[in-house]
Structure 1
Amino acid sequence: MKAVQYSRFGGPEVLEVVEVDTPSPGPGEVLIKVGAVGVNFFEVMMRQDRYAVTPPLPFIPGVEIAGAIAALGEGVTNLSVGDRIAAALYVAGVQSGGYAEYVAVKADAVARLPDEISFAAAVALQVQGLTALHLLRSHPSAGRTVLISAAAGGVGSLLIQLAKRGGAKRVIAMASSAEKLALAQELGADAGVDYTQADWSEQVRAATGGAGPDLIFDASGGDIPAQCLALLAPFGRLVLYGPLSLADFRPDAEALKTLIFGNRTITGFSLLPHLAPTRLASELGDLFALALSGELKLLPGTSFPLAQASAAHAALESRRTAGKLVLEP
């Protein structure tokens, strides 16, 4: 079968299409013919060797797939060949292998996929959907003014809708262009701020009537977390998830005074500790149901053939994308 791997770290050009053996499902596993695989920014960072974990080389990226079951391993009785499923490889403790035509995975790491949900949509609701779901379960939006960075991205676009659904008083979207902000407001954001403008923090203050946000979800890294901290309302909370770079975030004495005397909080979020195989089908089922009912809209993403994985990575690095990027074998 065809797969995409890299044998050295570097730019998108290190991704190459290779022929590898098609896996066979072991006991308790299913073999999936992949219909779509998600492309995530942490995979870009892994390819650059900038992630928290350095992958062994050669390495086939990909942790979220959707497709149809092609074969069953010994002992699998609750699924059938041909079933449409979404498979979260990371829930099974697998951090690689999705950029391929076939993937073998533990049967308890899959969820049945309604016929009305496309493979690409199913992928968009895995890492990003579950992240948004658990961010708001951990930090409820009810009655709060919420600021969301990267609001036109996979997580941000879902956070806007789930925060509004959870009773947020006001949702402010941050993005890098007028087009992305327009998309965010179509999804329910009450205001939008272009963080590439020098006065973006003043715009946030104005959008909150001078009070500042009560809750900020930030995944942008760089110098933005420090500026977000300064914007927080008293008793507010800054949640950092999947940041691109914390190297530039070094709170100084003034920032610590802001925390202490304003009763403000900085907290981190990582998805994996929130997930369990026993809850996966239910949690993805909740997201699928919201999508089917129209309560959760997915931004149009971009699909690339598997062989063009390098182009997909380049597009994601450019930050000119919106919605979910997927590869289709």
Structure 2
Amino acid sequence: MKIIQIGEFGEPEVLKVHEVARPEIRAGDEVLVRVHASGVNFFEVLMRRNRYAVTPPLPARFGVEVAGVVEATGAEATLPVGSRVTLPLFIHGRDGGYADYVVVKEAACVPLPDEVSFDGGVALQVQGLTALHAVRQTSPEGRSVLVTAAGGGVGTLLIQLARQAGAERIVALAGSREKLDTALSLGADAVVNHRDSDWLAQSAAASGGDGFDVIYDFVGGELGKSLTTLLAPLGTLLFGALGRFALDNGTLDALVARGQTVKGFALIPLLQAGNPRQDLAELFRLAANGKLVPVIGARFALEQAADAHRLSETRASIGKIVLHP
């Protein structure tokens, strides 16, 4: 079977296709899953360049979210052969999903409804759980909301979940017309291109003039720091792990004076404290009922993993990037 592996850090070309033996079931509670879709995440781009918070040992395999079909089971497993499942490997500290087959404990599998595509099952794992918990951590109900990176995997889902959670007004921030149009189609009330020189003024106007009660930011940097000026009194800015930014004393003083909150977000501790299987089942149920649309922006063959990483690095993709073995 084929796997994707790196033997050194660097440009996308370090992602190499290797032929290896198909993994074998070695325990009674294990299952063999034929991979039909594997998700590409931006943090994997950073890991490939050795710019992530954690340096993986080499050689390294990527792929932490998989959707596929059970092809064989151990003697103690109860999942029928042919079951459609998702494998949120990241929850179990696993990777290796850029592959034709994966062997996992049966307990790692989460059933995928027939109504949800394999691509959708992948898109609703890292990004879906992030969007779901962001809404849970800072409720948008009855509030004005700004979503950054609104055309990305998290942003496209956040818009929909915030609307379902009762957001009064949703403004989407993105960097291209196509992304802004996608945000509008998913339920945003207004959109702003952050590449415009006056994007801050446009955003303030789109909020209705009073600022935003909630800002969900998974971009960070200078953009994230600027967002603090768009918060309404008593508002909350929730930022993700890749959305870090530095606050100077003047900004901190202004936040305190207006009773505002800057709140960090990390997914794994939330999953460890909760029930991720139940969370995924909820996301799959919403998608199966047509209430949540996973946006798939690009599909690549497994052998084109380097091209998928190149696209991810441009930040031009919309929604989820998926590999197909």
Shorter-normalised TM range: over 0.9
User: What is the Cα-based RMSD across aligned positions, in Å?
Assistant: 1.5
Spell out the pairing of 1:242-321 with structure 2 (5 A cutoff). 242-243=241-242, 246=244, 249-276=245-272, 279-321=275-317
Determine if the alignment matches structure 1 residue 88 to structure 2 residue 88.
yes
Determine if the alignment matches structure 1 residue 224 to structure 2 residue 220.
no
The aligned counterpart of 1:188 is 187
Determine if the alignment matches structure 1 residue 17 to structure 2 residue 17.
yes
Structure 1 stretches of at least 4 aligned residues deviating more than 3 Å after TM superposition:
none
Determine the C-alpha separation between the residues in 1 that align with 2:297 and 2:167: 26
The aligned counterpart of 1:32 is 33
The aligned counterpart of 1:53 is 54
Is the 2:120–2:296 contact (alpha carbons within 8 Å) kept by the matching residues of 1? no
Determine the C-alpha separation between the residues in 1 that align with 2:197 and 2:166: 31
Determine the C-alpha separation between the residues in 2 that align with 1:222 and 1:138: 22
The aligned counterpart of 1:124 is 123
What letter is aligned with 1:126? Q
Determine the C-alpha separation between the residues in 2 that align with 1:25 and 1:134: 34
Matched residues, number: 324
- Residue 177 and residue 88 in structure 1: after superposition, are their counterparts in 2 closer, same or farther (change >3 A)? same
Is the 1:65–1:123 contact (alpha carbons within 8 Å) kept by the matching residues of 2? yes
Q: CA deviation at 1:270?
A: 1.2
Determine the C-alpha separation between the residues in 1 that align with 2:72 and 2:273: 21
Bigger Cα displacement from structure 2, 273-282 vs 25-34 = 273-282
Q: Give the 3-state SS of the residue equivalent to 2:8 in structure 1.
A: coil
Is the 1:157–1:323 contact (alpha carbons within 8 Å) kept by the matching residues of 2? yes
The aligned counterpart of 1:70 is 71
Return 5+ residue gaps in structure 2 as ranges.
none
Is the 2:296–2:322 contact (alpha carbons within 8 Å) kept by the matching residues of 1? no
Q: CA deviation at 1:40?
A: 0.5
Q: Give the 3-state SS of the residue equivalent to 2:54 in structure 1.
A: coil
Bigger Cα displacement from structure 2, 188-197 vs 235-244 = 235-244
Determine the C-alpha separation between the residues in 1 that align with 2:289 and 2:113: 12
Return 5+ residue gaps in structure 1 as ranges.
none
Deviations 1:190-238 (A, max 9, x none): 1101011111111111011221111111111220111011211111111
Spell out the pairing of 1:128-167 with structure 2 (5 A cutoff). 128-167=127-166
Q: CA deviation at 1:76?
A: 1.6
Determine the C-alpha separation between the residues in 2 that align with 1:274 and 1:81: 32
Percent identity between matched residues is 49
Bigger Cα displacement from structure 2, 140-149 vs 100-109 = 100-109
TM-score by length of 1: 0.95
- Residue 26 and residue 237 in structure 1: after superposition, are their counterparts in 2 closer, same or farther (change >3 A)? farther
Is the 1:26–1:74 contact (alpha carbons within 8 Å) kept by the matching residues of 2? no
The aligned counterpart of 2:201 is 202
Determine the C-alpha separation between the residues in 2 that align with 1:18 and 1:278: 37
Is the 1:175–1:193 contact (alpha carbons within 8 Å) kept by the matching residues of 2? yes
Determine if the alignment matches structure 1 residue 41 to structure 2 residue 45.
no
The aligned counterpart of 2:5 is 5
The aligned counterpart of 2:322 is 326
Determine the C-alpha separation between the residues in 2 that align with 1:233 and 1:253: 19
Q: CA deviation at 1:290?
A: 1.1
Determine the C-alpha separation between the residues in 2 that align with 1:69 and 1:234: 52
Q: CA deviation at 1:20?
A: 2.1
